[in-house]
Amino acid sequence: MPESVLVVNAGSSSLKVKLLPQGSWMRVERVGGASTAVSDRGELTPGPLPDQSSAFAFALAELTQGSEAEPPTVVGHRVVHGGTLFTQPTLIDDEVERELQALSPLAPLHNPANLEALRAARQQLPNAVHVAVFDTAFHATMPPHAYLYGLPLAYAAERGLRRYGFHGTSHDYVTREAAAFLGRDRAELRIVSLHLGNGASAAAVDHGVSVDTSMGYTPLEGLLMGSRSGDIDPGLVLHLLRTGMTVEQVDHLLNRGSGLLGMSGVSNDMRDVRAAADEGEPGAVAALEVFTYRLKKTIGSYAAAMGGIDALVFTGGIGENDPRTRGAATHGLGFMGIELDQRANAAGHTLISKPGAPVSVLVVRTDEEVLIAEQAAAVAADLARRPAADTQASGRT
């Protein structure tokens, strides 16, 4: 790996940057408003940061303050949606920027912010190698029967209407780490990975490649989430539109007013919902039941799709920190060989399955930045080995 790789992860109103291998990091919140910042050195008061460019400039200055090292030579950018065009980490040039701009309608809540931060970084670190790493790329190996919707094929292909999947970098990282912990080659394992946070998704990783995942054309499909509905009947959307709701209102309902928040009426935070459920609040109880039922159903369906299961991995804020969710999601799955060691689960050990159980159940802390840095560094190393005339961006399909 180069002396330093800067990893950039921009949200609609936030920016997180991390310098590796040093480990220095900063997260800026409320970009465009009364901005706040926290770093590995503590809280900071940046003052107003009107856009991603100013937020990036502030974060870069703070991370490299007092450092005698040169500025980062490689920058890895998390980009949520790569469509069918980008299925590998990709060297960024002006043409790639234009192509990413064209993909923004596929992920309007994510890609525009990713692109704004990317442009700022390229302007402020013009001598660095900039690499895009896509959330969707890990799932590019899904077979057609997993990614196709039941739509006319030509119509869907022309418009890119298919399942893409997200959280790919996290699923890639934690399944790799789980296999390493078990002392096994990932290429010989059938793994179900559950990334459970405010956004939640599952992935079926069969002998090292993703063969199915719960999110689809957008991150709205699949599991119940913090404020997203997950799977619903498309006819329900038509009904809402026909009975007076606008497209924007339906969008807000499904993306920001549903899930744990909408069902419980309490919060999108699992800790708050669980506390309310413990007090007997019916909405919170129902939200937890739906959340864990969908997990259990997905574990079973992915095991069926792969012809069995060797390991089950929990990650994300909920997956890593909530033993009760892990217990509820696996309760009754002993017939599949999934049995938890209750003490290990409560203690948050890495391996939480019973000794000798056929299926290993693990808790793995995700670290997407590490994998983004590794993949960006690999692209930079490949670029350095090329003939000087051959600088065309790689990574497109």
Catalytic residues: 135
Q: How far apart are CA 186 and CA 173, in angstroms?
A: 11
- The continuous run of DSSP H or E covering 25 comes out as strand 24-29
Q: Is 362 helix (H, G, I), strand (E, B) or coil?
A: strand
Question: Does residue 250 sit in helix, strand or coil?
Answer: helix
108-114's contacts with Cβ under 8 Å and 24+ in sequence apart are 109/12, 109/255, 110/11, 110/12, 110/80, 110/81, 110/219, 111/79, 111/80, 111/81, 112/12, 113/10, 113/11, 113/12, 113/13, 113/52, 114/10, 114/77, 114/78, 114/79, 114/80
- The residue with tokens 């290993």 is 360
Distances (CA, A) of 381 to 6, 128, 367, 384, 385: 15, 12, 22, 5, 6
For the sheet containing 200-206, what is the strand order?
209-213, 200-206, 190-196, 311-315, 360-363
Contact 355, 334 (CB under 8 A): no
Please give the helix or strand (H or E) that residue 27 lies within, else none.
strand 24-29
Residue keyed to tokens 């006319």: 152
Contact 336, 359 (CB under 8 A): yes
Within 8 A by CB and 6+ apart from 131, the residues are 74, 75, 76, 77, 89, 90, 91, 92, 375, 376, 379, 380
- DSSP class per residue in 97-139: HHHHHHHGGGSTTTHHHHHHHHHHHHHHSTTSEEEEEETTGGG
Tokens of 5: 């790789």
* Cα separation, 191 vs 312, whole angstroms: 6
Query: 3-state class of 196 per DSSP?
Result: strand
Distance CA 93, CA 131 (A): 9
